[in-house]
Amino acid sequence: MRPILLATVFLTGNIFFSQGGAAADDKKKPAPTVAEVSVANWEQPKELKKGKDAIFWVWYENGFWYLRTTGGKDVHRFQGLITVTGGKLSNLKGLGGEKKGKLADQYVFNKDRTMLEFDFRTGGQWDGLNFAVDENATAMKFELKVDGVARPAQVKIGKDGEHPAEADFITPARPVNKTPAAATGKPKK
């Protein structure tokens, strides 16, 4: 039996999905491992390219978090939940996504602004999100799936595209590079 999927449409046109009614089969599965990630350089990945393989790209730069998905030749489904500890999320902006049709992308904060849930279908181009965290935030938890499966080899973090040990991972809320970038306070496109 599968969990029940509830959908709520907000005025922005985005849809928020939440799961309820976990099935008995779900209790038999071990809880996913959550690894803490340490990255040398959190800046934009140097090999980020539109249309390249089915990959999650995650980086932190100039006070903003960036998440991009590239789908390669085929359309892939990218789903995730990003949770902040100790603070709130802000300045959410979706980029490159489809707004209508069967490939429409969805993303939304929860009412407390502590979680960001998204569901993208990405093909030859890219989809993405930019967001920030407030000064009280201490950590970020990313839970990422490609085509419904946690695949850490398809997650690249920071300038060198480092892979986390698990697709569910924790980072500092405002990571620091070994060689800090000049902060502009403006998000990239």
Residue 123 lies in a domain: yes
Residue 81: phi and psi, rounded to 5, are: -135, 125
Q: Is the pTM of this model over 0.85?
A: no
Q: Quote the pLDDT of residue 181.
A: 52
Q: Read off the CATH number of the domain in which 62 is found.
A: 2.60.40.1780
* Range of lowest pLDDT (24-33, 86-95, 105-114): 24-33
**Distance in angstroms (rounded) separating the CA atoms of residues 65 and 93:** 11
Residue 13 lies in a domain: no
Which of the listed ranges 5-9, 106-110, 138-142, 174-178 does the model predict with the highest average pLDDT? 138-142
Residue 18 lies in a domain: no
Q: Is the pLDDT of residue 185 over 70?
A: no
Q: Which domain holds residue 79?
A: 34-172
**pLDDT tens profile 49-69:** 766 689 999 999 999 999 999
Fill in the amino acid letter for 131: F
Residue 185 lies in a domain: no
Tokens encoding 75? 């359309």
Q: Quote the pLDDT of residue 14.
A: 40
Contacts 24+ apart (CB under 8 A), 144-151: 144/56, 144/78, 144/79, 144/80, 144/168, 145/78, 145/79, 145/80, 146/54, 146/56, 146/76, 146/77, 146/78, 147/54, 147/76, 147/77, 148/77, 148/79, 150/32
Of 78, 72, 60, 69, whose CA–CA distance to 157 is shortest?
A: 60
Q: How many domains does the chain have?
A: 1
Residue 155 lies in a domain: yes
How many other C-beta atoms lie within 10 A of the C-beta of residue 103? 15
Residue 6 lies in a domain: no
Fill in the amino acid letter for 70: T
Q: Quote the pLDDT of residue 174.
A: 94
List Cα–Cα distances, 65 to 3, 11, 120, 124, 158, in angstroms.
30, 24, 17, 23, 11
Residue 64 lies in a domain: yes
Task: Report how far Cα 23 is from the mean position of its chain's Cα atoms.
Answer: 26
Q: Quote the pLDDT of residue 20.
A: 33
Residue 125 lies in a domain: yes
